[in-house]
A and B are shown apart, each in its own frame.
Chain A
Amino acid sequence: MTLALSGKDITKKIEKKFPGCVAEAAAESLLVKGEALSEVAAYLKNTPGLDFDYLTAVSGVDYLDYFEVVYHLTSIKHNHSLVLKARCYNRENPALPSVVSLWRTADFQEREIYDLLGISFTGHPNLKRIALWDGFEGHPLRKDFL
């Protein structure tokens, strides 16, 4: 069984390296500030002992006050997992850094979130709609779409 690592434990490690980057540490997840997402993600992937070499899923959530993007990370090497979250509070132009350069899996999933929620992923090599057609107006998974 994959061991789900505590967000609080990982936060201690991250805070040593990048002070002030973690916005909220919970038992089952950790929330990082959007501008620090790239550095923290690279740290989680490349640090010996953590080695999150596999991105299981990326999901987007609309909480009306803000958008949240959830990254489910897994280490195949150590058989443990972690839930990483980031928020964007700008409803007009929500944006987060892309993690495609770290995990190729993120390519289609970030495109889907862009398609349905309208969150831009800066640094994505091919950010365009994936399920809906070019020219579709709006982002239908937003709570205020209808």
Chain B
Amino acid sequence: MEIEEVYSSSELDRKEGKAINEFIAGHQQVIPDPDRWLDEELERNILLTSVDAILNWARRSSMWPVVCFPACCAFEFITTEASRFDLSRFGMEIVRASPRHADLMITAGTLTWKMAPQVKRIYDQMAEPKWVIAMGACAISGGIFRSSYSVVPGYNRIIPVDVYLPGCPPRPEALIHAIRMLHQKIARKSLISEGE
């Protein structure tokens, strides 16, 4: 008995060719750019701003943190970076392994005196302008390890701190709050005073 053919390969090829030809016929027009109205608006307007405003906007909108995570606060920072809290909303999803690419140091953890020269060196290698968020109790004051023989009682002994963020460890919301505070601080900077 001859087995009935379920499908023929040439039949499949014909169907596929027909579908492709129909697809080509249906896509002969360019889809309009959804943001096309922007060009018209820009043609009609001139945007005026100050150098300070545009410079500070650029600086605070793309702050890249350097890797400086000596202890457990790092996990809160990792959570802040991850999808739930999504630090890329502030243009800072990239954590740089090279201090030369970074302009923000988030000091997430206890610092020992033996490690301190390395952190100072990383900070010195960062290009100006640069900022520091002291994250967590240890970064602010040494925390519960303040009286220890080996712990630096606060990062402000070795580098200047812009924003102090309390907590042990601070929640991701708190870290985002600290970043927003730093944004406000940067927004108030002026090129004239910077030159002093």
Chain A positions within 8 Å of B, measured between CB atoms, are 131-133, 136, 138, 140, 145
Q: Which residues of B from 148 to 165 have beta carbons under 8 Å from A?
A: 149-150
- Shortest CB-to-CB span from A118 to chain B, Å, is 14
In the bound assembly, the distance between CA atoms of A53 and B145 in angstroms comes to 39
- Shortest CB-to-CB span from B116 to chain A, Å, is 11
In the bound assembly, the distance between CA atoms of A133 and B149 in angstroms comes to 12
Q: Which residues of B contact A140 (CB under 8 A)?
A: 149-150
Q: Which residues of B contact A131 (CB under 8 A)?
A: 114
* Bitwise interface map of B from 107 to 120 toward A, beta carbon under 8 Å scored 1, else 0: 00000011000000
Q: A132-B114, A145-B149 are in contact. List 8 more A-B contacts (CB 8 A).
A: A131-B114, A132-B150, A133-B113, A133-B114, A136-B149, A138-B149, A140-B149, A140-B150
**Sampled A-B contacts (10; CB under 8 Å):** A131-B114, A132-B114, A132-B150, A133-B113, A133-B114, A136-B149, A138-B149, A140-B149, A140-B150, A145-B149
Chain B positions within 8 Å of A, measured between CB atoms, are 113-114, 149-150
In the bound assembly, the distance between CA atoms of A131 and B115 in angstroms comes to 11
In the bound assembly, the distance between CA atoms of A140 and B149 in angstroms comes to 7
In the bound assembly, the distance between CA atoms of A138 and B138 in angstroms comes to 24
Q: Which residues of A contact B149 (CB under 8 A)?
A: 136, 138, 140, 145
The 4 tightest CB contacts between A and B, nearest first, are A140-B149, A133-B114, A132-B150, A132-B114
The chain A residue with its CB closest to the CB of B149 is A140
In the bound assembly, the distance between CA atoms of A136 and B149 in angstroms comes to 10
Q: Which residues of A contact B114 (CB under 8 A)?
A: 131-133
- Shortest CB-to-CB span from A116 to chain B, Å, is 10
Q: Which residues of A contact B150 (CB under 8 A)?
A: 132, 140
Q: Which residues of B contact A132 (CB under 8 A)?
A: 114, 150
Q: Which residues of B contact A145 (CB under 8 A)?
A: 149
- Shortest CB-to-CB span from B119 to chain A, Å, is 15
The chain A residue with its CB closest to the CB of B117 is A133
Q: Which residues of B contact A133 (CB under 8 A)?
A: 113-114
Scoring B113, B114, B149 by chain A CB atoms within 10 A of each residue's CB, the highest score goes to B149
In the bound assembly, the distance between CA atoms of A3 and B96 in angstroms comes to 51
- Shortest CB-to-CB span from B20 to chain A, Å, is 68
In the bound assembly, the distance between CA atoms of A132 and B149 in angstroms comes to 10
The chain B residue with its CB closest to the CB of A138 is B149
Q: Which residues of A contact B113 (CB under 8 A)?
A: 133
The chain A residue with its CB closest to the CB of B150 is A132
The chain B residue with its CB closest to the CB of A137 is B149
The chain B residue with its CB closest to the CB of A141 is B149
- Shortest CB-to-CB span from A132 to chain B, Å, is 7
In the bound assembly, the distance between CA atoms of A58 and B149 in angstroms comes to 23
